[in-house]
Structure 1
Amino acid sequence: MKPQVVFVLGGPGAGKGTQCARIVENYSYTHLSAGDLLREERSRTDSEFGQLIDSYIKEGKIVPVQITINLLRKAMEETMKADEKKFRFLIDGFPRNQDNLQGWNTEMDGKADVKFVLFFDCSNEVCIDRCLERGKSSGRTDDNRESLEKRIQTYLQSTRPIIELYEKQGKVQRIDASRSVDEVFADVKNILEKDD
């Protein structure tokens, strides 16, 4: 069985991680966060990519695609090897730019099926406020105003065009993410239940 993938996209603070956690609790999906995988890799002392990843993240830049895809593929393979029923994946925060998308299409063509894109749409102001709030307790080095401004610029310039590309293919499920967690999840449930 090939992995069945749902890409989860939206600006920083749009609620991707929160909603993915809810989906995992209620449906048979495994959540893979490109950012979390990169942060884990960065903190591994024996990582060949740790320092490189670190400098990209601090600058609010997008890590080279081969590294990210490698980590995603490895995580999917390990999950499916451990439990063959776990073949549905939410990939959160990827593809974030054209390079990511091309890399995915090249590396994963025929190896995984992208079902659709779950797009959490939210204003920049709401995103920034949420991240600053999260930054008080998250310990994330990139939840500060300076990094956030850069991350939002990166998102607008690089990720929005990817969402638009998938929209043209009719593969985007857009959700108004400015509402409460429960209201957003109600929409998510409707989408996932239609897809089942």
Structure 2
Amino acid sequence: MICNPELSSRDSRTAMSGPKICFVIGGPGSGKGTQCEMLVAKYGVAHFSSGDLLRAEVASGSDRGQQLSATMAEGKLVSMDVVIQLLKEAVDKSFAEHPEKIILLDGFPREIEQATKFEEKICPATYVLSFDCSNQTMTDRLLSRAKTSGRVDDNIETIKKRLVTFETATAPVLDYYKNAGRLVSVSAEDDKQTIFANTCKGLGL
């Protein structure tokens, strides 16, 4: 169920002197957003997602925000360098204000290149928290959510594509951090309170 991370001495020194980064990875419908909210509510950890940071930058009306808005309006992907920079700014600000806090990066990284570039430009992740859930469970949850959320991407065909994309892109990330001894795997098949208890245990909270 849970693999407690065994940090190398190098990673341990980095974790003590820099931000305590926790990548949070889980497929659509795995419940990672809910678990992040529960961690924030109970422990006051910092919580950022690249999507939220992008939307906030656009809403700010800054020059960079206007450029991002134009890029997204054209249906183009925002460059990884921009995403990494936004995350760096959020991490630096959070660490400066509350150096003791764990920083959750929700839904990041989505692929191995993002992970390696983040660690190269910012700092190594202390933990990588993975919420493991079957495709059937995630599909059932998303279809149930669609009845009340009205989200257009919660339909069976789109869900299948999202699951394939997640598995293809993210599996190498999980393998990489498992081999590095920093992967905390939590079953997301249980009720949210059980999942939360296991998450806290895995993170040593």
| TM-score clears 0.5 | yes
Contact 1:142–1:148 under 8 Å retained in 2: yes
TM-score, normalization by structure 1: 0.81
Q: Which of 24, 27, 31 is 1:8 aligned to?
A: 24
Gaps of 5+ in 1: 57-61
Higher Rg: 2
Please state how far the C-alpha of 1:69 moved relative to its aligned partner. 1.1
CA RMSD of aligned residues (A): 2.4
Contact 2:26–2:132 under 8 Å retained in 1: yes
- Where do residues 36-55 of structure 1 align in structure 2 (5 Å cutoff)? 36-41=52-57, 46=62, 47=65, 48-53=67-72, 55=75
- Where do residues 1-196 of structure 1 align in structure 2 (5 Å cutoff)? 2-41=18-57, 46=62, 47=65, 48-53=67-72, 55=75, 63-81=78-96, 83-85=97-99, 87-108=101-122, 112-138=123-149, 140-193=151-204
Please state how far the C-alpha of 1:190 moved relative to its aligned partner. 1.2
Contact 1:30–1:86 under 8 Å retained in 2: no
Residues 4 and 181 of structure 1, relative CA distance in 2, 3 Å threshold: same
* Cα deviations by residue, 1:144-181 (Å, 9 ceiling, x for unpaired): 43432222111111101110111111111111101110
Residues 190 and 84 of structure 1, relative CA distance in 2, 3 Å threshold: closer
Residues 75 and 143 of structure 1, relative CA distance in 2, 3 Å threshold: farther
Please state how far the C-alpha of 1:130 moved relative to its aligned partner. 1.8
Local SS of the residue matching 1:114: coil
Local SS of the residue matching 1:96: coil
Please state how far the C-alpha of 1:43 moved relative to its aligned partner. 5.5
Counterpart residue identity of residue 95, structure 1: P
Residues 142 and 86 of structure 1, relative CA distance in 2, 3 Å threshold: farther
* Cα deviations by residue, 1:108-162 (Å, 9 ceiling, x for unpaired): 2xxx341111110001121122223334444655434343222211111110111
**What is the percent sequence identity of the aligned residues?**
35
CA distance in 1, matches of 2:42, 2:133: 24
Counterpart residue identity of residue 20, structure 2: Q
Residues 143 and 73 of structure 1, relative CA distance in 2, 3 Å threshold: farther
CA distance in 1, matches of 2:71, 2:153: 16
Counterpart residue identity of residue 189, structure 1: C
Residues 148 and 31 of structure 1, relative CA distance in 2, 3 Å threshold: same
Task: Give the count of matched residue pairs.
Answer: 185
